[in-house]
Structures are given as C-alpha cells and as structure tokens.
Structure 1
C-alpha cells in the first residue's frame, strides 16, 4: 500500500446521554460531518462512547450483594450496547463512508457467541468505504469496571493498515501494561489511539511517555461528561447527586513521536481537536531509538503473545 506522507486527524471530546444509543449515534454523525468538512481522514471517539461511561454509579453493588435497582440500570446499559458486527456497525459504516474517513469508536459490545449477556469494553475500527476493519476488546477492565465488562483476549490486538500508516489501540489503563504496549509496537504501529476515561494530570505524562517510547503518534480521546448527560430516571441516580456537576473534565490530546504536544490537552469543555500529522516524522524519530528494533535486546528479553481466541466452551460430537 502506497503511503501518504501527511494526514489530517481529529479526536472528539464529548459524551452522549448515558445509556442512550440514539444520542451517541447523533453525536457521532454530527462530529463526523464536522470532521469531514475539515478534511479529516481519521476520527477517534472516547472510551465506550457507545453508549457512555457510567462514572460514579455503583449499580447497587456492595461486596457480597447486588440490588434490584442496580440490575435494572445494568439491563438498561445492556440494551444500549452493540453487536460487532451488526446493524450498529453497519450504521457506523454509513457515517464513515458519507464523510470519507476512518472512524474509531469506543463501544460497549455484547457477546454474540454464548449467553449474549456479557459486555465488553471495545474499540471498533471502520474504514472510509464503510467496511468493518476490526475490533479490540479491553484485556483487563480496571477496578470496579470488572462488574460491567468481561476480559478480552489476544485475538483482538488489532492493527489496521491505512494509506498513511498502521493504526492500533489500547484502552485507558491497558496503556499502563508494558507488555501490551510492546505487542503493539511489534506490530509496527505508527499511530496509537488511546480512548480513555482518565482525566488526571498523570494521564498526560503517560501519553507523552508512550509517544517517546513507541516513537509514534498518540491520539487520546476522553469524554467531557456532566450530570446533565445522566438520565434523571436512573434507578441509581442518587449515586451522583452529591458529586460536582462536571463528572469528567476531559484531557484529550494529540502527541507527536518525540513526546511533544501537537494539540491539547483540552479540559473543561467538549470539542474537536484537529491536527495535521507528518508521518515521515515517525521514521526520523526512530533514528536514535526503536524500541522493537535496534534499541532492543531479544537475546535477553522476549515476549510471547497468545493471539488465539479463547474458547470458553468446546463441543465435541
């Protein structure tokens, strides 16, 4: 594939109405149209944008017990999740094709293989012709997220080829897993997307470190979420009643392969960060440091990655 030396990219900082798939799709379509008008060819949405990150909600959980109200809210979350592939990814494909861009969206994914009830925190990759190019499931949900989402496996360590470079993604605190990062570097990524829910100052240090370590562009997209994006009729709405109005302040950013900020970080509001990337900068930056090339000691350190799909149940006739 002939490579283009330059590409215009963008990250979205926004939030849908929580547990409202139509709200998420409306926002995706609106931002994609804006990005398309600006000539953007790669657009990244935050972690589980479809259909929201339920920050602050306990869903009625305590160690050793769950409430009926919490189960009700979780069922609402399940209803707003998507199948990959399915009608909803077809819809994302229509949006991508209409605007001529690669579309990368964080989504809550329903398991289609077994019970249909387990949810996953996933990234969906859509091409500019509307095709589903792949997905990635978060390998290890963080903290209380484990009550919401199952664990992904190595079969979805997806990297896609584009005319401007190879793109892969890790979700939020997966980026704190050195071996996960190494696996992505070994797949030859030029652009790492990091949909996240982490709005702390220390997340910015992580983005800059990864850019320097991988000598790649890092595109981090976070939600800007307020109480107004939470339906007041949630059974567990009282969980956030005493919280401040801003539940997630954002911090989306675009970082270059030597750790320099190109755009952002953006705080305390929603918006679209747009940047023109010089992809030849990736090659130049690896002159003195290539983490899986000349600055590597495979005779001392080796990483084994299991990319087989995990079979939960096997049937033999």
Structure 2
C-alpha cells in the first residue's frame, strides 16, 4: 500500500450562522485542498454554520430570556439537517474530487425530533458517502445551553489509503475512554476539531500524538469580530461584547513522536497541506503500542455502546380483516 498521505487543514471562518453561505465557503476550501492534491481535508468544530459564541456575550444562562430564545431559534433554523440533504452538494464535491472530508456541523437531528442541536463531526469518504456522524458525548460548560448530549454511535474509524482515521470534538479529546475506543480500532491518524483556540490545541495535540504514536491533525475554526453579520439576531449586543478574535485559530499537525509538522497557526484563513508517512507510525509503535503489545486486556476492558440513542421505538402491525363469508 502507498505509505504517504496528503492531508489538509482548512482553517476558515464561517459566514456565522448562515448555513448556505458557509456551505459555499466549505466547498471553496475543498476545491483548494484538492488543488493541493490532498486526500483528506478537515474543518473545525461546528464550522457549519458556526460555534455558539453568543452564549458568553449575551448572558446565555438567563432562564426564559427572550434574547436567548430568539438567537437559539435562528441557530436552529440554520443548523444542518442531514436527512433533508443539506450536505448533498458537499458530498457530491467530495466524490467529484476524490477527497475525504471531516466536517464539524451543528446538527438538527431528525431522529431526535428535529428541534434540538447536536455538535456533530461528519466523515465523508472519497466516494462522497457519509460514513459516520459523531455527536459530541458531552458539551462543555456553556455549550450545554445550546447543544444536546450525544452518544457513542459515531465512535468509529475509517480506512483511508494505508491509514486508519478517526476524530473527536474539542474537549472530547481529553476523555481517555473516548480516545481509547478509537485507538482500539487501529486509529493512527486522529482528527481533533476545535472552534478556534490555540490554548486548546497546543498541548493536547502533541499529547495525543505521543500517547498513541500516531499523527494528530488539530483543525480549528476562525472567528473574528467582523464575522458577526448584521443579519444575526441581537447583532449589536453580540458585536458590542465581542473580542477581536472570539476564535483565534491554532490549527496544527503533530507527528507520532510528538514533534511538530505544522506548528499552531495564527488567526488567519488558510488551507494548508502536509504529507504524512505510515512508516513513521510503524517505527514509533515499536516501543509503545497502547492497544497492542503494551495493553493488558486481562486487566483492563472497555465496553462501548455504539447504538444510536433514540426516544421511541414504533412497532407497526399490519392490520388484517377477516370475514365469515
């Protein structure tokens, strides 16, 4: 098998809380990554249509507050419905360009009624098929005011040439058991997605790389004060309280020995590619393989529930009629 793989970071800002316009930016970044011969391109946490930065800026915890209701209603209206085909054009482009995509979305989940938002990480393969949708296991702190709690259904890895790739959302990357669930499936290329904060990526990226002797691609979104558009509900309140960079980037790539391939990027929009080599994974696994020769399954066992959680199960019985005639 071909040992080398070209991977791309797409550190871009959304057209904040505007689904259709952000899809256009995502597709432009996919085209740019494809032009650089990337086989995989990755985007930040809930990049489509944007991270809920307003919560810190508007008193997000106020109960029954009309401001929070109006902003959330707008967020919900712009969230991604996979069932309704919102990712169709992105899937078609992935197929056309033969490029895999990891994309962070705010998902309006039809299988949970369609009125709650999940922080989801979607993997689209090079044939344009959605292979997994991972809903964030535990939204962090104020995120719980806008996102619902996910499940283990998307804790899956995928073959990509000679590599096995998996991914997690933001602080899930600090969850040892979530990481272990991916490691045990042979992961050797990990995608960690973030809303945009160098303080998050600079430590955990290298830690994960050394822990599982794998490549780690941390991809962040970008959010600038000027990205808060005038059509966003309560624009003046959000804009007036925002810093210059609510999301300052920090995307980076670490090698299996923890060294930097791409050091954390500054607050700029860019599509950047790097070539990784499976031979380096093999070399680093020689002395430490946490799911192989350095594991102790006789002592430790992790059980993972990958059923998609749902509220109801319907059993429709076929109605029959009988006649004495």
Interval containing the TM-score (normalised by the shorter chain): over 0.9
Deviation at 1:147, TM superposition (A): 1.3
Gaps of 5+ in 2: 317-325
Q: Contact 1:58 / 1:236 at 8 angstroms: preserved in 2?
A: no
Equivalent in the alignment of 2:43: 45
Deviation at 1:62, TM superposition (A): 5.6
Deviation at 1:78, TM superposition (A): 1.1
Deviation at 1:282, TM superposition (A): 1.1
Cα distance in 2 between the residues matched to 1:274 and 1:162: 16
Equivalent in the alignment of 2:305: 306
Could you give the per-residue CA deviations for residues 44-73 of structure 1, whole angstroms, max 9, x where no partner exists?
011111101122435865656132222111
Equivalent in the alignment of 2:205: 207
Equivalent in the alignment of 1:283: 282
Equivalent in the alignment of 1:125: 123
SS in 1 for 2:55: coil
Deviation at 1:96, TM superposition (A): 0.9
Please say which of residues 73-82 and 206-215 is displaced more in the overlay: 73-82
Cα distance in 2 between the residues matched to 1:231 and 1:305: 41
Gaps of 5+ in 1: none
Q: Contact 1:60 / 1:66 at 8 angstroms: preserved in 2?
A: no
Aligned-CA RMSD value: 1.8
Which structure dedicates a bigger proportion of its chain to strand? 1
Deviation at 1:311, TM superposition (A): 3.2
Equivalent in the alignment of 1:101: 99
Evaluate the alpha carbon distance shift between residue 202 and residue 83 of structure 1 in structure 2; reply closer, same or farther with a 3 A threshold: closer
Equivalent in the alignment of 2:256: 257
Cα distance in 1 between the residues matched to 2:64 and 2:55: 13
Equivalent in the alignment of 2:182: 184
Evaluate the alpha carbon distance shift between residue 198 and residue 265 of structure 1 in structure 2; reply closer, same or farther with a 3 A threshold: same
Q: Contact 2:116 / 2:148 at 8 angstroms: preserved in 1?
A: yes
Cα distance in 1 between the residues matched to 2:96 and 2:61: 47
Evaluate the alpha carbon distance shift between residue 95 and residue 206 of structure 1 in structure 2; reply closer, same or farther with a 3 A threshold: same
Q: Which has the larger radius of gyration?
A: 2
Evaluate the alpha carbon distance shift between residue 16 and residue 202 of structure 1 in structure 2; reply closer, same or farther with a 3 A threshold: closer
Q: Contact 1:60 / 1:236 at 8 angstroms: preserved in 2?
A: no
Equivalent in the alignment of 1:141: 139
TM-score, scaled to structure 2: 0.91
Size of the aligned set, in residue pairs, is 315
TM-score, scaled to structure 1: 0.93
Evaluate the alpha carbon distance shift between residue 114 and residue 13 of structure 1 in structure 2; reply closer, same or farther with a 3 A threshold: closer
Please say which of residues 49-58 and 38-47 is displaced more in the overlay: 49-58
Equivalent in the alignment of 2:270: 271
Could you give the per-residue CA deviations for residues 70-109 of structure 1, whole angstroms, max 9, x where no partner exists?
2111111111111224422221111212322101111111
Q: Contact 2:42 / 2:101 at 8 angstroms: preserved in 1?
A: yes
Deviation at 1:212, TM superposition (A): 0.5
Cα distance in 1 between the residues matched to 2:262 and 2:286: 24
Deviation at 1:186, TM superposition (A): 0.4
